[in-house]
């Protein structure tokens, strides 16, 4: 099974309405909260888009060149769901997803707007606009082997084991406040997958205002800090 099926699907089945990520951008004052069910829809649309539109198969590289953001969550989970190997900057890829103005060495380069309400970027290949037309459910054609590369040089089995090891340090079902960036692979593992493995939810803050963090820790009922 894929990283998504192992670490995320059990959370979805247990409580689909529970928040998975609450994203703040202190530079714009935005707050967006998405449930496990909503993220599952984004991930399924992404997996269908990658497989059906761009022929991504298990082991193919998808470069995720986005900051820590709710849009990145759907992209990561969708990429793993169809068996892709998530890579970072400087890696050749079949598909790359970049922020506005970003570039990448890939067969297809798509732009994610990072708009808080999910508006498209108006790019020739626009991640958010393109995935919307794809289905809300995804079924792999074949199971993803545990030996499939999944994150950098690590396989599915290795990524899951590493995420569970780090997740154990966060406790059970933590509410995590994080300012960590999701560089590939270590930031994705520590700042995102470990939270999934612990059964938790994430409050991710971009462009953090130090003066707001203490109050936010109380209002969001935070149990663990990262960053």
Give the pLDDT of residue 100.
96
Q: Residue 75: which of 146, 167, 155, 4 has the closest Cα?
A: 4
75-104 pLDDT, tens per residue? 999 999 999 999 999 999 999 999 999 999
Provide the strand spans (E) within the chain. 19-25, 30-35, 61-64, 85-87, 93-98, 106-111, 149-151, 154-155, 175-178, 201-206, 224-226
Angle of CA points 150, 116, 35, to nearest 5°: 60
Q: What pLDDT is recorded for position 119?
A: 83
Structural tokens at position 127: 């991640």
Q: Give the pLDDT score at 118.
A: 83
| Domain membership of residue 190 as a residue range | 3-226
Q: For residues 191 and 226, is the Cβ–Cβ distance under 8 A?
A: yes
CATH assignment of the domain containing 136: 3.40.50.12780
| Number of independent structural domains in the chain | 1
- Is residue 179 within 8 Å of residue 205, measured between CB atoms? yes
Query: Could you list the pLDDT tens digit for every one of the 227 residues in the chain?
Result: 999 999 999 999 999 999 999 999 999 999 999 999 999 999 999 999 999 999 999 999 999 999 999 999 999 999 999 999 999 999 999 999 999 999 999 999 999 999 988 888 889 899 999 999 999 999 999 999 999 999 999 999 999 999 999 999 999 999 999 999 999 999 999 999 999 999 999 999 999 999 998 899 999 999 999 98
């Amino acid at each position: 099974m894929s990283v998504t099926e192992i670490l995320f699907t059990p959370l979805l089945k247990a409580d689909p309405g529970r928040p998975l990520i609450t994203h703040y951008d202190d530079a714009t004052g935005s707050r967006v909260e998405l449930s496990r069910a909503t993220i599952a829809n984004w991930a399924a649309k992404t997996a269908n888009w990658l497989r059906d539109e761009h022929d991504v198969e298990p082991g193919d590289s998808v470069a995720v060149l986005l900051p820590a953001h709710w849009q990145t969550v759907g992209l990561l989970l969708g990429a793993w769901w169809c068996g892709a190997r998530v890579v970072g900057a400087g890696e050749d890829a079949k598909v790359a997803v970049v922020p506005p103005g970003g570039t990448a060495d890939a067969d297809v380069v798509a732009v994610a707007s990072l708009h808080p309400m999910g508006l498209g970027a108006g790019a020739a290949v626009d991640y958010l606009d393109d995935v919307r037309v794809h289905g809300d459910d995804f079924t792999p054609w074949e199971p993803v082997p545990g030996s499939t590369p999944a994150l950098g040089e690590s396989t599915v089995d290795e990524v899951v084991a590493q995420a569970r090891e780090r997740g154990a340090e966060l406790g059970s079902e933590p509410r995590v406040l994080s300012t960590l960036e999701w560089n590939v692979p270590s930031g994705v593992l520590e700042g995102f997958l470990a939270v999934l493995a612990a059964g938790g939810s994430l409050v991710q803050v971009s462009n953090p205002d130090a003066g707001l963090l203490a109050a936010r820790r109380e209002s969001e009922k935070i149990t663990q800090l990262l960053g």
